């Protein structure tokens, strides 16, 4: 069931991204938004490089090879979801509207759905995840 919910969360995130693109704000010329999006891309690349050659799974399947706790994973547990949200919210804040905020909340909802599923599955596969989760936050250091 967790894998199904995580796939649903992925589709929610993709739908929000497509929606932001369709309303024309995902790629914005606003300098501050561009700076935030560059930071988001750098975080995503850092996380992918740290994660290594493991493949992406549509479902929240823990990958083989051990728990990754280095690189950005030292600071936050879900840097790739964080990067996706940061990328989009940079554009949303530059173009505030009811629709853009609703799509941003939808994106965040999908990411949280995936995180919750992933964490439960990671706890089952890697018992040390419980201790790791105590010393790191999900997306925002020291907050969440």
**Domains in the chain: boundaries:** 2-52+66-135
Residue 54 has pLDDT above 90, yes or no: no
Q: What is the pLDDT of residue 60?
A: 78
Residue 55 has pLDDT above 80, yes or no: no
Provide the terminal-to-terminal Cα distance of the chain, rounded to the nearest Å: 25
Q: How much is the average pLDDT of 113-142?
A: 93
> By percentage, how much of the chain surpasses pLDDT 90?
82
What totals of helices (H) and strands (E) does the chain contain, helices first? 5, 0
Q: Indicate the pTM of the whole model.
A: 0.92
Q: At what angle do helices 79-94 and 98-125 cross, to 10 degrees?
A: 170
* Residue 64 banded pLDDT, cuts 50, 70, 90: confident
């Amino acid at each position: 069931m967790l894998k199904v919910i995580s796939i649903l969360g992925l589709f929610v995130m993709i739908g929000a991204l497509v929606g932001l693109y369709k309303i024309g704000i995902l790629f914005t010329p606003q300098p501050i938004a561009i700076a935030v999006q560059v930071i988001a891309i750098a975080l995503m690349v850092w996380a992918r490089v740290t994660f290594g050659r493991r493949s992406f799974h549509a479902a929240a399947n823990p990958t083989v090879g051990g728990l990754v706790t280095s690189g950005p994973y030292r600071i936050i547990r879900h840097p790739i979801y964080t990067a996706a949200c940061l990328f989009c919210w940079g554009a949303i804040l530059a173009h505030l509207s009811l629709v853009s905020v609703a799509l941003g909340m939808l994106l965040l909802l999908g990411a949280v759905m995936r995180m919750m599923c992933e964490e439960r599955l990671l706890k089952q596969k890697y018992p040390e995840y419980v201790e790791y989760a105590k010393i790191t936050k999900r997306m925002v250091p020291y907050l969440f």
